[in-house]
Structure 1
Amino acid sequence: MKLNSACNLISQTLVLSAAILYPATLLAQSDPMSPPASQTQPNRAQQAPASATAIQDSSTNSGDLGQTMKDKIFLRKAAQGGMAEVKLGQLAAQKGSSDDVKAFGQKMVDDHTKLNNDMAPIADSMGVRLPTNLNKEDQAEYDKLNGLSGNDFDMEYLSFMVKDHHKDLHEFRQEAASTTDPTLQTAVNNATKVIHEHSMMVDKLAREKGVPMPPHGGNKSASPTS
């Protein structure tokens, strides 16, 4: 009897100890209100796309700003070059020793005055301050030509016009291909066609007068920009 009583006492003690040690575990496993473990961890996969989008937007904005700055620089240079074409053309129309040089000079005045007027409102809308004076290179060429006369004037003027129009044609084509502003692109494409016509005319005049033609990596004026 005493042995049975002792065994019963030990069994009751073990059951009681198990109930004390494991209630929290049992409760946690059976509690239907406990959130799943997956909901207690941050969703890192959902954060990644937002971060990638932010980086992409930042990159796009930087690209837009960079192109806008290039457009503004182009407009200022184009206005400065157009002013020089008008000033030098006026000089050629007055001092040219041949009728064809005089006529070409007057055409530069007429065409570039129109191109300058076409570009001016676009530059104004983009906040570009247009120059009012020739740059140093063009002013030096103007002064040089102003001191020449006769055939010397014609040769120097045509030589400068050949180089200038080849350079301008290349720069206008580059701008037409890179700008994302539709208004500016249309104006630049129209100007490119005019400059191409000038380049063909002055190349022909220069060859007839025996003016040395500068190497320029192939005839970039061979076909107009569409």
Structure 2
Amino acid sequence: MLLSLGTATLMAISMANGSAKDRQSETFLKKAIEGNFAEVSMGELAQQNGQSDAVKSYGRMLSTDHGPANQKALDAAQGLGMNSPSGPSAKQKADHDKMSKVSGASFDRMFATHMIADHQKDIAEYKKASKSKDAAGEYASGQIDTLQKHLDTAKSLKAGN
């Protein structure tokens, strides 16, 4: 009896660890999907409100890169059997709304600063998630180089202002 109780306890612990790992992957994917939706809309906003050609070009790059990335994230989420968000988070929507009221050189500066902070945070989260040996980890690993390119470009935008 004692042995089977110990075995049951070990099984419960390993199942709890597995589900904690799954929750971690689901949390990451939820944030990644919301982030991709936000980046696409911010990219569109940059093309409308940006003053410099560099900011408008960066906006196109965001929309072009984050659209397909989001499809990969949605596929990974489906593979984990989770419900996916259908748009950006409330904070991301608020950031977009705030920036939509600005244009010209002021927009370019605010946008570059926001993109640097956002991509630095994203890269850290993606690197952490890339250690998972599941669909979320595979997705994260495949996006880090693109996020780094976005960060480097955002830094060059900031330097140009």
TM-score normalised by the chain length of structure 2 = 0.92
In structure 1, give the amino acid aligned to 2:30.
R
Does structure 2 retain, via aligned residues, the 8 Å contact 1:91–1:105? yes
Quote the Cα distance in structure 1 between the aligned partners of 2:139 and 2:71: 11
Unaligned runs of 5+ in 2: none
1:35-55 Cα shifts (integer Å, max 9, x gaps): xxxxxxxxxxxx655544333
1:204-226 Cα shifts (integer Å, max 9, x gaps): 221232xxxxxxxxxxxxxxxxx
In structure 2, give the amino acid aligned to 1:180.
K
Give the structure with the larger helix fraction: 2
Matched residue count: 161
Q: Work out whether 1:77 is the aligned partner of 2:27.
A: no
Quote the Cα distance in structure 2 between the aligned partners of 1:130 and 1:52: 37
Identity %: 26
Superposed CA RMSD: 1.6
Does structure 1 retain, via aligned residues, the 8 Å contact 2:123–2:144? yes
**1:160 corresponds to:** 114
Does structure 2 retain, via aligned residues, the 8 Å contact 1:71–1:175? yes
Q: Work out whether 1:185 is the aligned partner of 2:137.
A: yes
> Which of residues 85, 100, 113 is equivalent to 1:146?
100
Q: Work out whether 1:88 is the aligned partner of 2:42.
A: yes
Unaligned runs of 5+ in 1: 1-46, 210-226
Quote the Cα distance in structure 1 between the aligned partners of 2:102 and 2:130: 37
Does structure 2 retain, via aligned residues, the 8 Å contact 1:75–1:128? no
In structure 1, give the amino acid aligned to 2:80.
M
TM-score normalised by the chain length of structure 1 = 0.67
Does structure 1 retain, via aligned residues, the 8 Å contact 2:28–2:136? no
**2:154 corresponds to:** 202
Does structure 1 retain, via aligned residues, the 8 Å contact 2:25–2:137? no
1:52-90 Cα shifts (integer Å, max 9, x gaps): 433322211110011101111111111001100000100
**1:22 corresponds to:** none
